Amino acid sequence: MHIFQRLFLLLKLKPAERHIAEIMAATGASAARAQRIVVKRRRRLPVRVSSDHVYVKVFKRIPQIELEMLFPNTRIEFRPFDKLRLLVTAGGGTAPGVVGTATKLLAAANPITLAAGLMGLSAVIFRQVMSFSNTRNHYMMLLAQNFYFCGLANNRGALTLIADSAEEEDVKEDMLLYAFLARRSTSHDALADLKSAIERFVAQRCGVTINFDAEDALRRLLNDGLVRSDAEGKLTAIAPEEARDHLVRLWDRLLDVDTLDRADSRYTA
């Protein structure tokens, strides 16, 4: 079974007018009937949900067969096997009970026998109703688990999570490239070989296949001053002790009050 380790879901409802027009074009229904269909399809949606907004969600470990359960207009439907099982149990249990109870009622000579027959029929019907209800509750529980245990973030939190994850991936790329350049210097022309070496390293140590973006990581390291390039194109990473002090100075400069004030004036100008 295919499982999505991370699933990004972006939803935007169609405007009601457009949905009505599509139904009229597809089925030939009148405008009034198409409007009733749209209202019926969307009556399960919360009142605050609007076609003017975009909704973003992030999930983890979602089986492919359960994707439709994540949409807001999903309806609970039984699987064919569950329908067959309910039909067999209902038909096999209710029909004999009804026949037996009817026979007892026809042959009943006193109120006690009549009451016992009615109680037996009620018990059979109650058992079938509970079987139907339990099956439906099972599906509802699966739907709730997907949202409760598999949901990572919604809307603004989802966008923040995606931005943070992308930033973490950039930091990982920078650390890998810096570590390999710190072990041995190389030329810009040999960057492709270094890229292959890093991909083999990650595959051996972590068991995953990646497409390492060496050019992007090198650009960031050069801009931050952690890697230097001479006139001949030779790339050299500064020593770890020097890199530590250099990063501390960058942080201090970034958090300096005068630097922040200049940044604020630039954005407010």
Q: Is residue 245, in this structure, part of any structural domain at all? A: no
Cα distances (Å, whole numbers) of residue 49 to 10, 13, 130, 140, 227:
14, 9, 33, 21, 50
Q: What is the pLDDT of residue 268?
A: 47
**Is residue 113 domain-resident?**
yes
Residue-level pLDDT at 180? 92
User: What confidence score (pLDDT) does residue 269 get?
Assistant: 47
13 and 47 within one domain: yes
197 belongs to a structural domain: yes
For the chain, the helix, strand and coil percentages under 3-state DSSP, each to the nearest 5: 70, 10, 20
What's the rounded Cα separation, in Å, for the pair 176 and 167? 14
Looking at the fold, whether 68 and 107 belong to one and the same domain comes out as no
Write down which residue in 33, 52, 72 finishes a domain. Answer: 72
Same domain (yes/no): 224, 179: yes
Q: State whether 140 and 188 are in the same domain.
A: no
What is 117-144 written as a DSSP string?
Answer: HHHHHHHHHHHHHHHHHHHHHHHHHHHH
Same domain, 172 and 230: yes
Global confidence as pTM: 0.59
Q: Rg (Cα) of the chain, in Å, rounded?
A: 33
Looking at the structure, do residues 172 and 225 belong to the same domain, yes or no? Answer: yes
Q: Are residues 64 and 102 in the same domain?
A: no
Query: Quick check: is 68 in a domain?
Result: yes
Consecutive 10-residue runs of the chain (269 residues): their mean pLDDT?
86 89 90 89 80 89 79 67 63 58 57 63 68 69 70 89 91 93 85 92 92 92 91 89 91 73 50
Domain of 116 in residue numbering reads as 80-148
Residues 91 and 130 in one domain: yes
Query: Is 60 a domain residue?
Result: yes
- Quote the pLDDT of residue 43: 80
* Residue 146 neighbours by CB under 8 Å, 6+ apart: 59, 62, 66, 69, 70
Taking the C-alpha atoms of residue 92 and residue 99, their distance in angstroms, rounded to an integer, is 11
157: in domain? no
CA distance 120 to 103: 12
Q: Do 107 and 57 belong together in one domain?
A: no
Same domain for 34 and 65, yes or no, is yes
Q: Which amino acid is at 131?
A: S
Please indicate, yes or no, if residue 154 is contained in any of the structural domains. no
**For position 251, what pLDDT does the model report?**
86
Question: Of 180, 183, 204, which is closest to residue 193 (Cα–Cα)?
Answer: 180
Q: Is 192 helix (H, G, I), strand (E, B) or coil?
A: helix
> Does a structural domain hold residue 217?
yes
The pLDDT value recorded for residue 109 is 53
Q: How many domains are there within the chain?
A: 3
